[in-house]
Structures are given as C-alpha cells and as structure tokens.
Amino acid sequence: MPPEGFMQAAFRMINALDFGADPSGAMPSTGALQKAVNKYMIGGTKGYPGVFLIPPGHYKVSSMIVFQPLANMVGGMIYGYGATIEMTGPDKYGFSVDTESHGHLWRDLHVFGLRFKNCGFRLQSGPGRADAIYGYTLECLAAENFPEHGIYVTKAFEGAIKYCHMIAASGNLTNYPIYITGDGASSTEVIGCSTRGGKNGLKCDQGDIKIIGGTYLTAQESGISLSCLYSFLEGVHVENNWESAGNITNGGPGIHIIGWGTVVGCYGTSNRYQRYVVGVFANMVISIYGGLKTGSVVAYAYLDGAANSTIMLAGGQGDSYEEASGWRTIRFGKLILLGEKSFIAPRVVSATDSASAAIDLDKTDQYQLTAIAHHTSFSVTGSPVDGQPLRIRLKDAGAARTLTWSSTFRAIGCTLPAATVAGRTTYLLCYYNLTDSKVDVVDVKTEA
C-alpha cells in the first residue's frame, strides 16, 4: 500500500517510465532517470512538487542521479516501492538529494521503498536554513554491497529514518550502513531499522538522536556508535558485533555512547566477540533502565566515567555492570542506583598466598589471601582518591604467619595485626587519606 500522503501528492506525478527508464535492466536508465528528475525539479518551482514515481523493476545507472531544487520546495515524494537502482559505474550513491550551496531548501520530503544495489542513498543538506533539508522521512529503503555508506545524511535535521535495511559489502570495514553527520544535523529519529556489517551499523556524531527498536549485527566495532549531544535508545537489539576483535576479551559494547543519553530495555547477545550490550564513556549524564544480555556477553553495561559525570542504573540486570576509570568508587562523579538489584559488585582480588602483597588501589575494592603459608608484607600501588574504601580479608593455612605493613598503612583507633590467628579470618577496614597519602586502617576484626 502507498504510504500516507501519497494520494494527496499524486495530483502531480512524474513517472520515470515516461522518460525512457528501462525497468527490465536490459538497457541503462541513467539518462532517462536524470531527465525525469530534472522535469520533476522544474515542476517544483510552480508549487507542490508532487510524486516522483519509479515503478517496480530493475534500473541500471552508471552515475549518480541528483535531485537538486531550483526553488524552495515543501513536500514531495520520491516513491519507488519494488524498484531497484543498480550502480554499474564508479559513483558511491545511486540517488542524491542535494541542497548544499544552491540557495534553496526542501522541507517535508518523503522517500519511500527504493532498493539500492552496489550503491547507497545520500541526503546532502546545506549548512543553513536557506539551503537546508529538514522534516524529511526516509522509509522502507534497502541497500546492499554499497562501497561507502548505505544511507548518508549530512547536515539535514528534523528527520526520520524508518524500517530501512542495510547490508554492507563484506570488505566494507571503515564506513557505515547508516551515517548521520555534519554541522546542524539534529533531531533525528531512527525507527525499526536493521543493519549488517560496516565499521558501525549506525553512526551519529552530531545533534541529538532517538533510536527505537531495530537490529544491528556483525559490525567490525560497535553496532551503534553515538558521539552526539544527546541520545535516547529503546528496545534496540545488538548482536555479534566487534567482528574485528578476534576474541571476546578484546571485544566491546554493541552500543557505544559518548555524551548524554538514556537507554531503556535494550537487548544484546553474542556467540562471538561482542563483550557488552551498552558502553558509556566520558563526561556525561546517562540513565540505563532495564535491559537483557544473553550468550557470551560478559556484562550488560561497561561504564567508563570522567569529570562531573552522573549515571543512573535501574532494574534489569542491575548486577551486571563492569567499570573502568572509577565508576565503582565514584571517583569522577555521582552514581545513582535504583531498583531491586541496587548495587555494583566489588572488585575482588583474591589469592591463596603471597609473600609480598602489593594491592593495586586502582583495581581493588577487596583484597584477600585465603591460605597464607608465608610471612607476608603488604604495600599499595595506584592513584586512589580521597576517601576511597578498601577491605582486606586474611586467613592462614592453619599456622600463624607474621604480617608486616608498609609505612603507607596507618592505624587509627586500632592496631595493625602483626600476625594471623591460626585458622581464623581477619578483616581490616581502610580508607585512603589523600591529604596525608595514607591508607588509614580504622577497624580490625578477627573471627572468634
């Protein structure tokens, strides 16, 4: 069925077949399609542009077909449900809507149903409102084997990309099935799309974006990469990304976010290299609600903070977060936890025995020796922050062992243990004092 608005637009229609386009693919259609487009654009100077119709069929082109307004245009539809545009020449895009540097805008454009082979679709807006593309909708587009991007939107704003399906060429390891970029790009919605391959399935590095649903598979790195002002994601599925990692240890998140954002009920699974569902990085305020991981995914979210950052975790797999750069100790900002599983598991470093126990405070919340068989000396390394807590748990192998402590350890209101108590567990509760560069031991307790 034609999309909403088709009949209203149909009072003026340009049919590509009337200009000699060949739907059988036996003859090239480059000239005929461009001639039909030029006619359509001329008509756009006289009022509502109407519909540019490419009937079902297979159309071969040797160069890019360009839609370039000759006057400010409002509305219009490029309708090609059932039509395939195959690129036989060197150009990277089969169709390009281009207002950049031409002094005319195009508002409320709707592109529907086209499929591109060996090429992608480009929407290239000018930098200001005088030559902008905005209020656009790209719906039910498909592309495969494209040499650069599948859908490439630059500088356009207030748009929607809906139910599009993009499959990158197997060797396309540096580009994106869906790429939104350029100064001024903002207020983009991506709904129910799917991608396979590329460096990232969807990349947005400008403005703000809302992503609802959709599946992003087998990218070389993250399935979705966002480094924009604000992002909102709900019900997104990321699977088997980080194909370039080579193993799960070197993998990363299916959704990679730099900037402010909200993530609701997203899902990730992997039987290969994708290590996390969501990864959030650097100087942000971000909320994560619900969500699910399965398969080889190690943790639901990877959290890497920076100055003045705040993160809120609520519900879902709230016990499944892995931290770097201080989220657990809140050394870079503020952490808010809500819901039934409102905790982050401590970083426990455990060994059976050690004659020289060097505790790395950058990586340790609890240090434990479970069967000490040597006389043991303790020291610390790392760059802890003021007030950072540390717990130490000690137990010998059945015979008391001597314990010695570096000068960094300072007992306050208690006494540092000089030896274990045979067969008994001892706990030390400590806090780092940045002013004095000391690990202050404030309590020592031994099993009765």
The predicted pLDDT at position 305 comes to 62
Q: What mean pLDDT value characterizes the chain?
A: 88
pLDDT at position 143 over 70: yes
Do 109 and 137 contact (CB within 8 A), yes or no?
yes
Secondary structure in 3-state letters for 277-342: EEEEECCCEEEEECCEEEECCCEEEEEECCCCEEEEEECCCCCCEEEECCCCCCCCEEEEEECCCC
Q: For residues 207 and 186, give the distance between their C-alpha atoms in angstroms, rounded to a whole number.
A: 4
**Which range in 241-245, 257-261, 440-444 is most confidently predicted, on average pLDDT?**
440-444
In 3D space, the residue among 202, 189, 187 whose CA is nearest the CA of residue 138 turns out to be 189
Do 82 and 109 contact (CB within 8 A), yes or no?
no
For the chain, the distance separating the N- and C-terminal CA atoms, rounded to the nearest angstrom, is 78
Residue with tokens 């139910």: 163
* Tokens, residue 327: 């989220």
Task: Lowest mean pLDDT of 166-170, 339-343, 435-439, name the range.
Answer: 339-343
pLDDT at position 332 over 90: no
Residue with tokens 């005929």: 32
DSSP output for 69-111 = -SS-EE--EEE-TTEEEEE-SS-SEEEEEE-TTSS--EES-EE
CA dihedral defined by 248, 254, 260, 263, rounded to 10 degrees? -120
The predicted pLDDT at position 127 comes to 78
The predicted pLDDT at position 378 comes to 98
pLDDT over 90, % of the chain: 67
Do 151 and 172 contact (CB within 8 A), yes or no?
no
Task: Lowest mean pLDDT of 71-85, 125-139, 430-444, name the range.
Answer: 125-139
Average pLDDT over residues 400-424: 97
* 209-218 pLDDT, tens digit each: 999 999 999 9
* 344-391 pLDDT, tens digit each: 667 899 999 999 999 999 889 999 999 999 999 999 999 898 999 999
The predicted pLDDT at position 170 comes to 80
> pLDDT band at 308, cuts 50/70/90?
low
> pLDDT band at 125, cuts 50/70/90?
very high
The predicted pLDDT at position 281 comes to 80
The predicted pLDDT at position 4 comes to 52
In 3D space, the residue among 135, 131, 190 whose CA is nearest the CA of residue 166 turns out to be 190
Q: How many residues does the chain have?
A: 448
Q: What are phi and psi of 23, to 5 degrees?
A: -75, -5
* 190-204 pLDDT, tens digit each: 999 999 999 999 999
The predicted pLDDT at position 157 comes to 92
pLDDT at position 25 over 50: yes
- The SS3 call for residue 252 is coil
* 214-239 pLDDT, tens digit each: 999 999 999 999 999 899 999 999 99
pLDDT over 70, % of the chain: 87
> pLDDT band at 317, cuts 50/70/90?
low
Q: For residues 138 and 151, give the distance between their C-alpha atoms in angstroms, rounded to a whole number.
A: 9
Counting Cα atoms < 13 Å in the Cβ hemisphere of 145 gives 9
